[in-house]
Amino acid sequence: MELFLMTLTTGVMVGGIYALVALGWVLIYKCSGVLNLAMGELTIIGAYVSYTFHSVGIPFVPAVLLTLMVGIVLGILTERIFLDKLIGEPILAVIMVTVGLSFFLKGLVGYIWQNDTRVFTPPVFSIKPISVGFLQISPVYLWSFILSIVLLIIFVCFFKYTRWGLSMQATADDETAALSLGVSARFVYAAAWAIAFMSAGVGGALLGNINGINVSVGYLGLLVLPAVVLGGLNSVPGAIVGGILIGLLQNFSGTYLDQYFPGGVKEIVPFAFMAVFLLFKPYGLWGWERIERV
Amino acid sequence: MSSVWLPCGDYHQDYAEDQGWWQTRFIKGKMILLLLAVFVGIPLFAGEYWMSVGTMVGYTAMGALGVQLLIGYSGLLTLGHAAFIAVGAYTSTMLILQFPWPQSLLDSGLAYPISIVVAGIVAGLWSVLFGLPSVKVKGFYLILTTMAAQFITVDFILTQYISQIGGRGQAFSLPPGTIKIGPWVVDNERSVYYLMAILLTLMVIVLANLLRSKPGRAWVAIRDNDIAAETLGINIVWYKLLAFFVAGFMAGIAGAFWVCNTAALSPEHFQWFLSLWLVGVILIGGVGSIQGAIFGSIFMVVVMELLQMVALPVAEYFPSILMDFAYIKDMAFGLAICAFLIYEPNGLAYRWWQAKNYFNLWPFSY
């Protein structure tokens, strides 16, 4: 029973980080229709950038804020250089540009940081577990969860109440109508990419605190894809629920299935589950069901 | 449909003629010259090094043909093709190493040819298994299920279980002399190159024939609009799964061929990178044409070799470049994909087609 509760809390907390990254993904898709396969690389860039800031002596929270700044710049650059020219192109072209982008970013990250495993030193969070009732929670998870929930709330509020967020929502809803009302679509696309880079960056920084930074952080970033598919590609609440579900699934399979299928069952189960899930609900939990006409 | 320029006054009389292999004598001569160049010219004049580059091109093209069939002709987006190549490679290797072959088959050198065919069939069926969701989902969702195929097959089943057979850990190696077809032992660059050329030619012929017959037309109809195709009476479930089977079969053969090139096998050869690489190859070559897959393979492999050649002299002054070469290669590949998609979305095959048209009319522009 204790093991069950431990797994449950860890799953929800890691899932919070996935939800944050998934939110960035969904924003891009909703606003500009780009299906982004470079999410793993975005995450790993965030992890290394925050590590670099942290290693020159900047405390963790300002380092994360600086990472957010870098994310804004990188997001706008990426959108301007690579994706701006592809508006209105077929879906395969847009997806594959993000694949090209992921290769480019992967090479860049390797070139700059050599893909070594780096650990935040001194450790940002203490190793001593915090007791809540009879549960032992490691502070890394707790603080990561709190930070990602705070950021999630900030992002959702931004989306709902600010002028920029509303113009993004309008573009996501109906691009032509938004354009006729004076919303700059190019600005909205750039903003969506900036937010995606930011959320992936913070997600990467938090994930990097859990197990150290190396290529596997990029793989964890890739887990966002099953998360958004579970939630439905174009639903913000779906992304959050999907992220938490993937976190739970991953941790429960790690705890309970690993003894039957030794090896990396934890990494595989989200993808396997998603493949089966799509057979029954092809549009995820809250995705728009597209009615096709000839 | 056919983009062939006929000599003035020459008309096709019926459908069969329109779909014929050799429509003009020029085309026939050209193709024979091409075959001669591949089978005689390159082995005669190219050294060991360029022959191995040719083998690499052929292997890439074998994989890319399957991806071309799925993405370019049937509109089924796939990002997990390396999984099926891996299944083929492992099936073939396990058959050769573990299967109790009767001595007579071993002596007559039939073990490897049989294992190639079995590898193709197993990879094809495995591909159909992961193609099943395509009945209901498409587009991005299908990309994710094929990605699932990649991670489940290579990172889990092959790495964690199949590689552990025999307790050797990661890699399998084939003892020299095991790979022979009849009396012909495939063990040096030249023989591997010939095997590649034979297999690739066979594959191109089979695929081209499939594409100009009923399944090919059904695939193209499904790609263009699957609901319309269904109303035309095309069984889209059957044809989608058939596309997966054929693509998987080709991938399996490519994998079984790869074994004889490396004589060793480990899951690292079949990471997600390879799947993405193959899709990149057909994008650069041109989506929706067989030449495209081959142009793309030639372009990518040769450009990467040239990059390496440039890197070596530069490395004398900047030794760090050699260390970072893998990363530079990744960056170059990513930029190449992006640049092609943005500036040349029809790929190399379109340029080739334009050049052909230009010279058909040359020197009279009308």
Contact B77 A95 (CB under 8 A): yes
Distance CA A146, CA B366 (A): 71
Whether chain A has a CB inside 8 Å of the CB on B279: the answer is yes
Q: What tokens appear for A162 in the block?
A: 């600010």
Residue A134 has pLDDT above 80, yes or no: no
Contact A282 B155 (CB under 8 A): no
Higher pLDDT, B366 or B355: B355
Q: How distant is the Cα of B277 from the closest Cα of chain A, in angstroms?
A: 10
Secondary structure E strands in chain B: 172-173, 180-181, 184-185, 264-265
Contact A274 B77 (CB under 8 A): no
- For residue range A256-271, list pLDDT tens digits in order: 887 777 767 788 888 8
Whether chain A has a CB inside 8 Å of the CB on B70: the answer is no
- For residue range A230-256, list pLDDT tens digits in order: 888 878 888 889 999 999 998 888 888
**If you write DSSP's letter for every residue of A198-232 in order, what string do you get?**
HHHHHHHHHHHHHH-BSHHHHHHHHTHHHHHHHH-
Higher pLDDT, A124 or A22: A22
Nearest to B341 among A96, A103, A292 (CB): A96
- For residue range B303-351, list pLDDT tens digits in order: 888 888 887 787 777 777 777 788 888 888 889 888 888 888 888 888 8
pLDDT of amino acid A130: 76
Q: Coil, strand, or helix at residue B185?
A: strand
Residue A137 has pLDDT above 70, yes or no: yes
| Proportion of chain A above pLDDT 70, given as a percent | 98
Higher pLDDT, A40 or B2: A40
B329: chain A residues, CB-CB within 8 Å: 107
Residue A180 has pLDDT above 70, yes or no: yes
Q: How distant is the Cα of B301 from the closest Cα of chain A, in angstroms?
A: 16
Average pLDDT of span B52-56: 91
Angle B339-B345-B346 from CA coordinates, rounded to 5°: 135
Residue A69 has pLDDT above 60, yes or no: yes
pLDDT bin (cut points 50, 70, 90) of residue B1 is very low
Contact A100 B336 (CB under 8 A): yes
- For residue range B91-148, list pLDDT tens digits in order: 998 888 888 888 887 777 788 889 999 999 999 999 999 888 888 787 778 888 888 8
Average pLDDT of span A199-213: 85
Residue indicated by tokens 């003035």: B8
- Residue B19: other Cβ atoms inside 10 A: 13
For B229, nearest residue in chain A (alpha carbons): A294
Contact A106 B337 (CB under 8 A): no
Residue B46 has pLDDT above 90, yes or no: no
pLDDT bin (cut points 50, 70, 90) of residue B218 is very high
**CA contacts within 13 A on the Cβ side of A273:** 22
A268: chain B residues, CB-CB within 8 Å: 151-152, 155-156
Average pLDDT of span A178-205: 87
Distance CA B247, CA B253 (A): 10
pLDDT bin (cut points 50, 70, 90) of residue B4 is low
pLDDT of amino acid B121: 96
Nearest to A278 among B145, B156, B279 (CB): B145
Whether chain A has a CB inside 8 Å of the CB on B155: the answer is yes
Distance CA B313, CA B318 (A): 9
Whether chain B has a CB inside 8 Å of the CB on A289: the answer is no
Contact B338 A100 (CB under 8 A): yes
Distance CA B30, CA A263 (A): 53
Q: What tokens appear for A187 in the block?
A: 């600005």
Whether chain B has a CB inside 8 Å of the CB on A103: the answer is yes
Residue B53 has pLDDT above 80, yes or no: yes
Nearest to A233 among B140, B151, B327 (CB): B140
pLDDT of amino acid B293: 93
pLDDT of amino acid B168: 62
Average pLDDT of span A32-39: 83
Average pLDDT of span A93-112: 88
pLDDT of amino acid B64: 95
| Proportion of chain B above pLDDT 90, given as a percent | 31
**Which among B154, B337, B344 is the top mutation candidate for probing chain A, defined by the most A β-carbons within 10 Å of its own β-carbon?**
B337
Nearest to B337 among A96, A261, A262 (CB): A96
Q: How distant is the Cα of A133 from the closest Cα of chain B, in angstroms?
A: 38
Residue B2 has pLDDT above 60, yes or no: no
- The structure's pTM equals 0.88
Residue A186 has pLDDT above 80, yes or no: yes
- For residue range B219-251, list pLDDT tens digits in order: 999 999 888 998 999 999 999 999 999 999 999
Whether chain A has a CB inside 8 Å of the CB on B224: the answer is no
| Proportion of chain A above pLDDT 90, given as a percent | 5
Whether chain A has a CB inside 8 Å of the CB on B164: the answer is no
Higher pLDDT, B325 or B166: B325
pLDDT of amino acid A55: 86
Contact B145 A111 (CB under 8 A): no
Whether chain A has a CB inside 8 Å of the CB on B128: the answer is no
pLDDT bin (cut points 50, 70, 90) of residue B69 is very high
B144: chain A residues, CB-CB within 8 Å: 225-226, 229, 271, 274-275, 278
Closest CA to A68 of A198, A191, A156: A198
Whether chain B has a CB inside 8 Å of the CB on A290: the answer is no
pLDDT of amino acid A166: 87
Closest CA to A239 of A221, A225, A222, A257: A225
Which of A159-163, A286-290, B39-43, B201-205 reaches the highest mean pLDDT? B201-205
pLDDT bin (cut points 50, 70, 90) of residue B167 is low
Predicted ipTM of the assembly: 0.84
- Residue B59: other Cβ atoms inside 10 A: 22
**Which among B73, B74, B128, B141 is the top mutation candidate for probing chain A, defined by the most A β-carbons within 10 Å of its own β-carbon?**
B141
Contact B338 A104 (CB under 8 A): yes
Q: How distant is the Cα of A150 from the closest Cα of chain B, in angstroms?
A: 30
pLDDT of amino acid B117: 93
Nearest to B283 among A96, A111, A275 (CB): A96
Contact A275 B144 (CB under 8 A): yes
A263: chain B residues, CB-CB within 8 Å: 156, 159-161
**If you write DSSP's letter for every residue of B23-81 in order, what string do you get?**
-SHHHHHHHHHHHHIIIIIHHHHS-HHHHHHHHHHHHHHHHHHHHIIIIIIT----S-H
Where is average pLDDT lowest: A5-19, B10-24, B196-210? B10-24
